[in-house]
Amino acid sequence: MSVQQKLLEDMKEAMKSGDKVRLDTIRGLRAMLKDAQIAKQRELTEEDEIAVLQSAAKKRTEAIKLYRQGNRQDLVEKEERELAIIRSYLPKMMSPEEIEKVVDDAIARLGASGMRDFGKVMGEVMRQLRGKAEGQTVQEVVRRKLS
């Protein structure tokens, strides 16, 4: 079942149960997916769908950080609930230990020796981990390994 089909089913379920936050979040995700489909002028692949969901999750994460700085706990809680709903549609993220193994393999394969090779390593690792790990986490691991 594609992400779009799962969202449609879950939207119907949220309507029946009266879960307004879940319903609003799912509607927003469906709209984002439709916008992406229109922009690409073709059906979305699973990778495209995951990229859209990751973008939505990243926006929520950044909003949470800003709301915490602004001392708006009510908005933090709302964004955290939405983020949890979005993450339920994303594939399980890799642990930092699993990411480190992929980074170590890429560094060895590319013969990277310092920060000047950061771009090459990041490009290689992100090709392998797209949709499986957050870019920020990968970036931190690569920086640490190349330092």
Containing structural domain, residue 110: 96-146
User: Structure tokens of 11?
Assistant: 């939207």
What amino acid is encoded at 121 in this protein?
A: V
36 and 70 share one domain: yes
- Report how far residue 111's alpha carbon sits from residue 119's, in angstroms, rounded to the nearest whole number: 13
Which residues have C-beta within 8 Å of that of residue 81, sequence separation ≥ 6?
A: 21, 25
Please give the tally of structural domains in the chain.
2
- Report how far residue 143's alpha carbon sits from residue 22's, in angstroms, rounded to the nearest whole number: 37
Q: Which CATH number goes with the domain that contains 18?
A: 1.10.1510.10
Query: Which band of pLDDT confidence, cut at 50, 70 and 90, is reported for residue 8?
Result: very high
72 and 100 share one domain: no
Q: pLDDT tens digit string along 18-27?
A: 999 999 999 9
pTM value surpassing 0.85 = no
Top-confidence residue, 117 or 78: 78
Residues 34-60 have a mean pLDDT of 91
Q: Is the torsion defined by CA of 84, 89, 58, 96 positive or negative? A: positive
